[in-house]
Amino acid sequence: MDTAQALLSSVFGFDAFRPGQAEIVGAVVDGRDTLAIMPTGGGKSLCYQLPALVRDGLTVVISPLIALMRDQVQGLQAAGVAAGALTSGNTDEETDAVFAALSRGELKLLYMAPERLASGGTLPLLRRSGVTLIAVDEAHCVSQWGHDFRPDYLRIGELKRALGVPLAAFTATADEETRAEIVTRLFDGRQPDTFLRGFDRPNIHLAFAVKDSPRRQILDFTRARKGQSGIVYCGTRAKTESLARALTEAGHLALAYHGGMEPDLRRDVERRFQQEDELIVVATVAFGMGIDKPDIRWVAHADLPKSVEGYYQEIGRAGRDGAPAETLTLFGPDDIRFRRSQIDESPAPPERRAADHARLNALLGLAEAQHCRRQTLLAYFGEAAEPCGNCDLCDTPPALFDGTTAVRKALSAVLRCDEGFGAGHLIDVLTGKATDKVRQWTHDRLSVFGVGREYDKRQWNAIFRQMMGADLVRPNPERHGALYMTEAAIPILKGEGTVTLRKDTLAVARKGPVAKALVSEEDAPLLSALKAKRRAFAEEARVPAYVVFADRTLIEMAEKRPATLDEMARIGGVGAKKLERYGEAFLSVILGAPAPEMHPARRKLSASGGGDLFDRLQDVHSRLTRGECGTLKPMSLTASQITKIVRQRPRDLDGFARLVGERQAERFGPAMIEVLGSV
């Protein structure tokens, strides 16, 4: 470690390691497989850059963030370290220079994006270049359950085996589940030396607020911090641009930054953000900026992040220099519906969607926390902490009230409605609103109908939000957001437990113009799932989505929820051909399970409206297979024969016999003709 200590000072300019760095550096220098979980701003990069200089040979660094790789290479080169990067952001001259340095054996660190591992020439190149260590930054990207999954990270384990060298993996966010997957994917299940250095960033002030004119809230927040560098995260590209314009009009220096921009323009924003002290960047949460700027003084979220991990990573960009930094995260019911629909429309398997819903619930628990936010945040990562004194809830403890009665009413509504409906429908039942859907399901006759009139719809939404945050109810991904009760709720429902709720988030907000939704809040998750299925068919056929089904058809499906192909055929816009081609697939989405198997002949009758008649004749057929007495020799009709009967509808035995034969007509004719006559 003497060499490492000397290089720490001579190359990086530090007199001493930060807490935890020395042990990690020692493990990596010794060539031991290493997994290090360190807080953002805790000095992760040094833990592989310094060993690369101590060890012989080349260290290849795999990172998903092009901008961050460029920053680190530039910083290393400025410190006199031979480093280079092979990324899609390189100019031809930069790439040629890297290849030339590799051929001369001059490089100590080579950065590359995981996507480059898919190239057939990468492995031979690395073998020729004398790689002796693999370093993996943002190692949580290997987790298929995580919010930042990168499929090409799955190739890193193969690279380790092919090169036969040690691997050091680093991340700032990895819960127990993700850490286990990192070990499996990167280390072939063999436990590496693991260092868990804590997640606390005590210099960052944490704050959440319910949305109430969110643009004004962001403008107010930035006005109070004018002249400081900051980042605003938004949920969509369009919002980054509109909010950047609003900030500019308010007198700030602000630029949008998202994945749809031209590379040169993105690079210019990155350069300016690093160099200009007062610049605000408005970026999409889905696009990691990867900028190593230590003096970002604040981070704001105009929309709810995807998960606690995503939130922690994004706020972690603030205050990397250890000086005080601030955060603000806005959230509201539209955010929650948007995130729920993103999960429900995902092609991921049901168990992953359920895990994503659970992660979102954990974030809602942080947003609706009643006591110190840092305690809640660190508890998610398995750490205990005292109240921090540096969050909005420590600054101003929220007013609380006994919400046991309200929660018990809500849980009763969940159960009385058979755990088959979302918050919107349940609130209509609780507030006594006899909507068409409430009457359709006769929920206006339930004992819980109208028992919650003491709260309005917005207040009940806040109660359900807090119930989800406390994990008393969860959305069922197989039933498109329908809420079901968890084990934790049973004592409360039985009167054996109590619930404390926050009063401030129940306050009535100022009303403004509200966009009319295509469907009710209750039906929105199902409509999202139906649109996802439509998009898949449209992409496969390379046709516009409306060619599969028009929006109004999907809206009617979401509202009426047909349970059979016969009911599906009565939806406007579902003709015979589309029913045959798409009916079962869309019915499976609505049912949350595969559509019941059906004879092809019976399926075709659904479109013509003869399906119900076919089923009635099939019942007669089953009853008379051995005659009225049940002792005769078995006799049967084929599905094709029953289909002919449905289509031609004979009114006498002669006509019936011409379709199926004399003997069959004698057995089945009278009873079936009676059914036909009743239609």
**Bridge partners of 473?**
485
Q: State the pLDDT confidence band at 205, using cuts at 50, 70 and 90.
A: very high
Buried b (16+ CB within 10 A) or exposed e, 320-353: beeeebbbbbbbbbbbbbbbbbebbbeebeeebb
pLDDT tens digits along 357-368 = 778 888 988 998
Name the DSSP class of 172.
S
pTM: 0.61
Q: Which of 128-132, 463-467, 573-577, 588-592 has the lowest mean pLDDT?
A: 573-577
Radius of gyration (C-alpha) of the chain in whole angstroms: 31
Please state the three-class secondary structure of 251-265 as a single string. Answer: CCEEEEECCCCCHHH
The answer to whether the beta carbons of residues 334 and 465 sit under 8 Å apart is: no
What are the tokens at 583? 């009916």
User: Is pLDDT at 503 greater than 60 in this prediction?
Assistant: yes
Name the DSSP class of 583.
H
Cβ contacts of residue 434 below 8 Å, gap of 6+?
444
φ and ψ of 559, to 5 deg? -80, -40
The answer to whether the beta carbons of residues 170 and 36 sit under 8 Å apart is: yes
pLDDT (mean) for 228-232: 91
Determine the angle formed by the axes of helices 576-591 and 524-541, rounding to 10 degrees. 130
pLDDT tens digits along 10-51 = 787 777 888 789 999 999 999 999 999 887 667 889 999 999
Query: What was the pLDDT predicted at 538?
Result: 83
Q: State the pLDDT confidence band at 252, using cuts at 50, 70 and 90.
A: very high
pLDDT tens digits along 392-447 = 999 999 999 999 999 999 999 999 999 999 888 999 999 999 998 999 999 999 99
- Among candidate residues 136, 132, 133, the one with its CA nearest the CA of residue 169: 136
Residues found in the chain: 679
Query: What was the pLDDT predicted at 513?
Result: 33
Cβ contacts of residue 374 below 8 Å, gap of 6+?
200, 202, 206, 385, 387, 388, 390, 391
Query: What was the pLDDT predicted at 511?
Result: 39
User: Beta-carbon neighbour count of residue 509 at 10 Å?
Assistant: 12
Secondary structure (3-state) at 4: helix
pLDDT (mean) for 62-78: 83
- Among candidate residues 398, 368, 387, the one with its CA nearest the CA of residue 200: 387
pLDDT (mean) for 259-271: 84
Considering 47-56, 171-180, 582-591, the range whose residues carry the highest mean pLDDT is: 47-56
Query: What was the pLDDT predicted at 170?
Result: 93
pLDDT (mean) for 205-214: 92
**Bridge partners of 474?**
484
